[in-house]
């Protein structure tokens, strides 16, 4: 129902935490905010980054929404963990939502990420403890470089850039797997590989499901003429766009490779089966005339002169062996064996 704030995910943290970093070119302040201290969050001339971890406490969410004058629809989207990646513009603010991925001990962790960007502040929302932004934080803390002298639009770019980089990292990991599978298939196709191949397909399709709308989101970010976006940030956005295009193209390439692998798998399995069946058929065929010959001399006719030859039995053996060898040679020549 429009207008109601409901968190659609599972509760991932105990209490909602509000981490603030406030900076300008000279100073940097960090603080864990409470609902009480929330109203002190902004300071004239500085840029505030408020990172909210955990989305399940609707009251606090509403308090944050009120403090930053976040549009109700944006608040609802922040709480909806099934929200499609999107870029929306409101008066004096813009909103970005996306799925973000990170690999922890070979396990891919995904969570919903949203951010509200306004003049002089940026509020980010994430579901779980731990994230991929430590690099951005240390650049803020340690350097007095570009990121400290720019406004919230550049920080928004920096965060999205990290997210896109992690998409790239994960798809490249998958890519290594997929290329390994390709090599293995050419060397020795095993029946067990089908599961692996199907798993890779599933994984890549899952990533693609989010990568494609994220790409649209970034394209919209790029095209936006929002006054919040500084002219100096534009080349960075174009660069981000290029990276994301690279991600989606790489995903498509791997999808094709997986399909080729699956085809190779099926072709190999069919060929293997066919080879077995051909071999077995030829084996049967070699015995068929031999058995027939044995049948002939198993007949009980009174007048069968061969039966009385001294060496009849040995001659029959000779005939049979000749027949069998002849057929095998014939099949070899025909390249059926």
Q: Which of residues 196-225 bind a second copy (CB under 8 A)?
A: 198, 201, 205, 209, 213
Dihedral sign for Cα atoms in the order 201, 207, 209, 213: negative
Binding mask 87-126 for a second copy (x = CB under 8 A): -x-x------------------------------------
Using an 8 Å Cβ cutoff, are 19 and 51 in contact? yes
149 binds a second copy (CB under 8 A): no
Judged by beta carbon, residue 120 or residue 289, the one nearer a second copy is 289
Q: How many residues bind a second copy (CB under 8 A)?
A: 81
Q: How far is the CB of 127 from a second copy (least distance, A)?
A: 19
Which of 74, 79, 69 is CA-nearest to residue 5? 79
Torsion of CA 124, 130, 136, 138, to 10 degrees: 130
| Strand residue runs (E) in the chain | 17-23, 28-33, 47-53, 86-90, 93-104, 107-118, 121-126
Buried/exposed 283-317: b ≥16 CB within 10 Å, e otherwise: eeebeeebeeeeeeeeeeeeeeeeeeeeeeeeebe
Q: Beta-carbon neighbour count of residue 126 at 10 Å?
A: 22
Site residues (CB under 8 A) for a second copy, limited to 29-88: 71, 73, 77, 82, 84, 86, 88
**Does 3 interact with a second copy (rule: CB under 8 A)?**
yes
329 lies in the binding site for a second copy (CB under 8 A): no
CB 40 to a second copy: min, Å: 29
Q: Which of 135, 318, 321, 330 binds a second copy (CB under 8 A)?
A: 135
- By CB under 8 A, what part of segment 226-265 binds a second copy? 235-236, 238-239, 242, 245-246, 249, 253, 256, 260, 264
If one asks whether residue 302 binds a second copy (CB under 8 A), the answer comes out as yes
Measured from the CB of residue 191, what is the shortest distance to a second copy in angstroms? 9
Closest to 96 (Cα-Cα) out of 45, 153, 56: 153
């Amino acid at each position: 129902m429009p207008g109601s704030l409901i968190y659609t995910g599972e509760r991932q943290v105990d209490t909602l935490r509000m981490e603030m970093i406030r900076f300008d070119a000279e100073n940097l302040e960090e603080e864990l905010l409470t609902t009480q201290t929330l109203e002190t969050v902004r300071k004239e001339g500085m840029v505030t980054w408020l990172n909210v971890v955990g989305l399940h406490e609707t009251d606090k969410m509403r308090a944050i929404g009120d403090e930053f004058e976040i549009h109700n629809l944006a608040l609802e989207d922040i709480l909806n963990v099934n929200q499609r990646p999107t870029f929306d513009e409101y008066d004096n603010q813009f909103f970005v939502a996306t799925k973000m991925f990170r690999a922890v001990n070979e396990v891919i962790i995904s969570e919903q990420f949203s951010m509200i960007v306004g003049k002089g502040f940026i509020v980010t929302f994430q579901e779980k403890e731990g994230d991929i932004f430590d690099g951005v934080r240390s650049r803020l803390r340690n350097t007095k470089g570009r990121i400290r002298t720019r406004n919230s639009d550049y920080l928004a770019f920096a965060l999205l850039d990290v997210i896109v980089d992690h998409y790239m990292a994960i798809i490249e990991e998958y890519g290594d797997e997929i290329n390994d599978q390709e090599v293995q298939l050419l060397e020795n196709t095993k029946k067990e590989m089908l599961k692996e191949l199907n798993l890779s397909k599933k994984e890549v399709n899952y990533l693609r499901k989010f990568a494609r709308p994220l790409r649209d989101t970034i394209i919209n970010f790029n095209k936006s003429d929002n006054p919040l976006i500084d002219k100096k940030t534009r080349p960075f956005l174009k660069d981000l766009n290029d990276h994301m295009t690279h991600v989606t193209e790489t995903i498509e390439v791997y999808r094709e490779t997986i399909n080729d692998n699956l085809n190779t798998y099926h072709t190999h399995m069919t060929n293997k089966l066919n080879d077995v069946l051909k071999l077995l058929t030829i084996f049967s065929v070699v015995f068929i005339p031999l058995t027939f010959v044995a049948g002939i001399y198993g007949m009980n006719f009174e007048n069968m002169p061969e039966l009385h030859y001294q060496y009849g039995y040995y001659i029959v053996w000779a005939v049979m062996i000749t027949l069998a060898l002849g057929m095998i040679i014939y099949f070899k020549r025909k390249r059926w064996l």
